[in-house]
């Protein structure tokens, strides 16, 4: 069932239709929040807040079909605000980022796990996380949503409140910088 139909049903009072939207987008939403915050419990807190916020203000959504991009925008805005607030309390320690690299597993879902590849994936994940932090906000969002979460460019554009052409440009600029930052591992 299309997102637009589920949004309309929710607006007609059918709460279970919103559950379907939660099931559909919780994973990419949590992944985006996690990549921005570096901690899974913070990511869960933010996504829960974003989902409740999106439910409450669903009536303000102009295009029900654009729900996914809109939700991602709420998630990223809340995450960035949370992050800024956290930075004002105490700067994000480096080992915080490195510790959470333990949650990366390139063999996710696989039956046979090669420890060497897992270690390599963790190392790569940690490097990637640091490199992403070096990117300007728009480039980081474009790379995260488009390249990593593999959302369609239209949804990314809705999430970032820009045109599809701008998304292409931010992805390109982000790639160029990542190529430089990760040149020893690529």
Partner 1 sequence: MLPDRDQLEYAISQYLDGTLSVMDRRVLEERLAADAEARLMLEDYRRLDERVIAGSRLNLPINYDRFAAHVSAQIDNEPAHVAGPLAMPGMAMGVWVRRFAIAAGVVMAVGIGMHFIPQGPTASHPAGSMVVIGPAVETNSGGGTISISYGPTDALRERGVAMSLVDDAIASHSPRVVISASDQPASGADDRLY
Asked if 27 touches partner 1 (CB under 8 A), the answer is yes
Q: How far is CA 157 from the centre of its chain?
A: 14
Q: How far is CA 40 from the centre of its chain?
A: 12
Quote the CA–CA distance of 39 and 183 in Å, as a whole number: 26
Orientation angle between helical segments 67-89 and 153-160, nearest 10 degrees: 50
When the beta carbons of 22 and 80 are compared against partner 1, the nearer one is 22
Single residue of 46, 66, 146, 158 touching partner 1 by CB under 8 A: 146
When the beta carbons of 15 and 89 are compared against partner 1, the nearer one is 15
Residue range at the interface with partner 1 (CB under 8 A); choices 69-77, 78-86, 88-96, 144-152: 144-152
When the beta carbons of 34 and 91 are compared against partner 1, the nearer one is 34
Asked if 48 touches partner 1 (CB under 8 A), the answer is yes
Asked if 108 touches partner 1 (CB under 8 A), the answer is yes
Closest C-alpha to 45, from 82, 16, 70: 82
Asked if 96 touches partner 1 (CB under 8 A), the answer is no
Quote the CA–CA distance of 148 and 139 in Å, as a whole number: 12
For residue 90, give both structure tokens: 């105490």
Within residues 154-173, the interface with partner 1 by CB under 8 A covers: 168-169, 171-172
Single residue of 51, 75, 135, 157 touching partner 1 by CB under 8 A: 51
CB of 87 to partner 1, least distance (A): 22
Three-state SS at 78: helix
């Amino acid at each position: 069932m299309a997102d637009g139909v589920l949004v309309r049903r929710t607006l007609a009072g059918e709460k279970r239709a919103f559950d379907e939207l939660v099931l559909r987008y919780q994973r990419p939403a949590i992944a985006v929040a996690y990549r921005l915050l570096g901690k899974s419990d913070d990511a869960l807190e933010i996504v829960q807040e974003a989902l409740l916020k999106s439910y409450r203000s669903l009536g303000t959504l102009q295009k029900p079909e654009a729900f996914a991009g809109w939700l991602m925008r709420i998630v990223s805005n809340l995450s960035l605000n949370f992050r800024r607030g956290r930075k004002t309390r105490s700067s994000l320690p480096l080992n915080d980022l490195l510790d959470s690299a333990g949650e990366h597993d390139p063999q996710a879902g696989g039956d046979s796990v090669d420890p060497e590849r897992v270690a390599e994936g963790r190392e790569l994940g940690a490097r990637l996380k640091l490199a992403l932090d070096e990117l300007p906000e728009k480039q980081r969002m474009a790379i995260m949503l488009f390249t990593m979460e593999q959302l369609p460019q239209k949804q990314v554009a809705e999430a970032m409140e820009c045109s599809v052409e701008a998304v292409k440009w931010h992805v390109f600029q982000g790639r160029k910088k990542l190529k430089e930052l990760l040149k020893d591992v690529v």
